[in-house]
Amino acid sequence: MSDSDIGFMTAAELAGAYRRGAVSPVEVVRMLLVRIGRLNPRLNAYNLVDEAAALEQARASEARWRAGNPLSPLDGVPASIKDIILTKGWPTLRGSLTVNPDQAWNEDAPAVARLREAGCVLLGKTTTPEFGWKGVTDSPLTGITRNPWNTDTTPGGSSGGASAQVAAGLGPLAVGTDGGGSIRIPAAFAGITGLKPSFGRVPAHPLSPFGTVAHLGPMTRDVRDAALMLRELARPDPRDWFGLPWQDVDYTADLEAGIAGWRIAYSPRLGFAKVDAAVAADVRRAVQVLADLGAIVEEVDPPIDSDCTEMFHTHWFAGAYNALLNLPEAEFARLDPGLLKTYRMGKAISLADYMRAANARGRLGAAMRDFHQRYTLLVTPSLAVPAFEAGRLAPADMGDAYWTAWTPFTYPFNLTQQPALSVPCGFTADGLPIGLQIVGPMHRDDLVLRAGAAYQSASDWHRRRPEIAA
């Protein structure tokens, strides 16, 4: 097999190949390292690659497979970690010049620990904007990360390095974070699958400075891999006091059971968003596929309106202030100017304003729980626009708009903490991916995954490969 063939095997396919002895974890890792060496300079997806450690882990996995004793269905499968998540032995620099790399890095965050316990091979760390503050990926530390489908465009953010590496075939699994869309935005822009699980489903440590809008989750090539990965990531960790009680759920068990008879709400604009025509058309066609699969689809808007933007901004800006609360004054000059501006807006928020936003958030969450008494799922576009020029905060025709101007479909569900999945559902005439978002009731990650799998069983957008990856 060529390194391109290896690069686009799913985790499930790799495990099957390991079981048959058709390929070994060591061969896979060596080929991926070659691909990373060739493509990463053009994409800037990884900011750290540890070849020696990856090969050592691959050899240990190879021995386990040969002995017929793999640790999990993901044993030997390569994965990456977003450089905002603590990883033992590697610096976690958060895209910032203000983080000193010369310190002890001796702790794994829960997500990293769970992947190690599952036998995954950790290849390295992926790029992020500074402290994950925006929906695109560039930073003072690592520069601009680019989209494999068109390197003039952004792969989204803040998990943009993760989406670029999966889309380019530089590793089948990636751990991302999502505080306002940071898994789903890059999944949509790069044409991959990205799940923001229910809040607390994947334990976090340390807790995000952005608070209870922040989630961790899988970024993969298809829904089955996301389900396999979620099972491992969701295992308990006492360090997260928000963590949900452990449920021994196999998220792959009912993936093929279909969605016939499900009541699905389709909201093309959430009642207020302006959506690119190509995005709107492809999402509408994807919704028809769900109907063809037997779902009862009704075009209806959920109880979300444009007031949600201010509510989210209050939480997000306050989070940026919290993230930099203890930064020495001399270090502020080294920050991304946009992050500094966001910090200052957070500093200006009064306690009364914050509590008003928190109360409004509670009402929104309750309204969405009531909405899901009538509808199994809600589907929307993942984003209002296709990928745009790399290095910008917003499309050129939006000028200096904040990143939330083009992400109206993502951040509401960070406020409500519901599970939300982005899957590819088409391409623009210029060859840029388009995403369909599937939102489920709180704690029903299984329903979201099952609907995504049903859609992918009837489409092949997730199997497309960017030209750069050949």
Structure confidence by residue, pLDDT tens digits, 346-393: 999 999 999 999 999 999 999 999 999 999 999 999 999 999 999 999
Q: What is the pLDDT of residue 469?
A: 87
Retrieve residue 235's tokens.
């295992």
DSSP single-letter state for residue 399: T
Could you list the residue range(s) of the whole structural domain that residue 162 is in? 3-469
Q: Angle at Cα 171 formed by Cα 279 and Cα 432, nearest 5°?
A: 20
410-428 pLDDT tens trace:
999 999 999 999 999 999 9
Q: What is the pLDDT of residue 470?
A: 83
Q: What is the pLDDT of residue 278?
A: 98
Q: What is the pLDDT of residue 263?
A: 98
Q: What is the pLDDT of residue 99?
A: 98
Measured CA to CA, the distance from residue 185 to residue 422 in angstroms comes to 8
The residues of the chain scoring below 50 in pLDDT are none
Domain count, the chain: 1
CATH number at residue 444: 3.90.1300.10
Retrieve residue 12's tokens.
């499930």
Q: What is the pLDDT of residue 5?
A: 87
Match 């390095």 to its residue by tokens: 161
Match 């905002």 to its residue by tokens: 84
Measured CA to CA, the distance from residue 218 to residue 251 in angstroms comes to 13
Retrieve residue 183's tokens.
């898994």
- CA 339, distance to chain mean position in Å, is 21
Q: Tell me the pTM.
A: 0.98
Residues whose CB is less than 8 angstroms from the CB of residue 193 and which lie 6 or more positions away in sequence, other chains included: 187, 219, 220, 221, 222, 223, 225, 226, 421, 422, 423, 424, 452, 456, 462
Known catalytic residues are: 82, 158, 182
Report the run of H or E that residue 425 belongs to, with start and end. strand 420-427
